[in-house]
Structure 1
Amino acid sequence: METDYILRITQPLLQGAWTTVYTFLIVIVLSIPLGFLATLMANSRIKVLSGAAHSFIYVMRGTPLLLQVLFFCFGLPQLPVVGEYLVLDRFVAACLAFVLNYAAYYAEIFRGGLLSIDKGQYEAAQVLGLSRLQTMTKVLIPQMIRVTLPAMANESITLVKDTALLYAVAVPELLYYAQAAVNRDFTITPFFAAGVIYLLMTLLLTLLFRALERRFKFE
């Protein structure tokens, strides 16, 4: 009987898991380059750019992600004058909050990776006559990726779990369907099933990053 029940709830849970995966992919694809851009801005000699980047990172890392999700979903439309133009779909608003939040965290990870690179690498690139763009793409970024992969793996796994915050704004993701099944059927089995799905997703992500770490380690 329990097996039949698990099979019955699997379809809606997998539907919610797809929303979780879809959100994860959107955030990863957008937040990593935005985070790197924020790192470059923070290290800029132009004080306006540097100050804006540092302020962005401080605010996004210093306030709870849940608060940011609620603000983008329900706070933006309440802003005076411009609020009526900032009414977004809840999923879009939540994804925007996730992207900005994780961009700030990735920016700090990338900053640490750049700081770990010996200054002699910069000097060697100048001696070889490489431009700043060539130095960045051929010398600094490959070394930065190698150093930051473990931290990026941890942050990405955290992102998978943080997608459960979509439940707070009634976006139908994995936890949303699990909670609905619990309320309907008066059993906690859906929570266990959802936990297994989360574990499988984080396991796959862990294996992927380990493969990437091995690749960059031996390059």
Structure 2
Amino acid sequence: MITRYLLTIKHNTLHRGFCTSRPSSNIFEKVKHFLLAEERENFDSDNIRKAHKKDGVDEEKWTLIYRDIGASRTFYMTAAFLPCFIIGSAVFVVDINTNSPSNRFDFVQKLVNDAEELGSLVVLPSVALALVIVFLARVQQLRLIRIYQNKTNTEEFMAIRSKYMITQFKETFRRDETTGFYFAEDQTDGARVALHFLFGNIQIGNRKFMIMDDMFRANNYRSYMLNETSVPPRL
């Protein structure tokens, strides 16, 4: 009876198969796909519907005229990274100041050991990390994610932008409050990008922002919003 039972198990194993290996993690692939995946069309009807739903904006009243998918992706990546970095830094500082080396978290003590080995050279990665964080914070503050235009009052717009670097905020503005910056247009590509990241390329009210010209539905939406033309686009 036992022999027959063992033979039955062997038979089922051969025919059905068992997976004894752990499923591989595909988190990296998902992140890579999230960052690099090609859009069907920036203003595809499905993308427009999702944007209105995500932002809580009425499709009957507002038209999506600007959609920066790159800004949206970097927003979510930065919004996830910064809180983790702040929490990790807080744990590091508390652990260093309250525990002896033998009682610290492994990663904390490893960082301490690495810093001691580097000596004064530890300043270099520290400065590099600080610059990266400042850069991410600046980009998060400057870039507009989406812009809507009012269908009945074409002078009114609504921008979706970052607030406190981890949340999104809706801000309405009027066309007469916007101004484009053109001082960087005669510079080299590198200088122009640097100036845009430092000072933005448009101003709304008393705040500076950065937009990408090719992320508008069409150029006439951009030129009308920035007061370069007086003919409102078709909404």
Would the TM-score normalized by the shorter structure come out above 0.5? Answer: no
Please give the range of the TM-score, normalised by the shorter of the 2 chains: under 0.3
Structure 1 length-normalised TM: 0.25
Larger strand share, 1 or 2: 2
Structure having the higher helix fraction is 1
- The answer to which structure, 1 or 2, has the higher relative contact order (CA under 8 A, 6+ apart) is 1
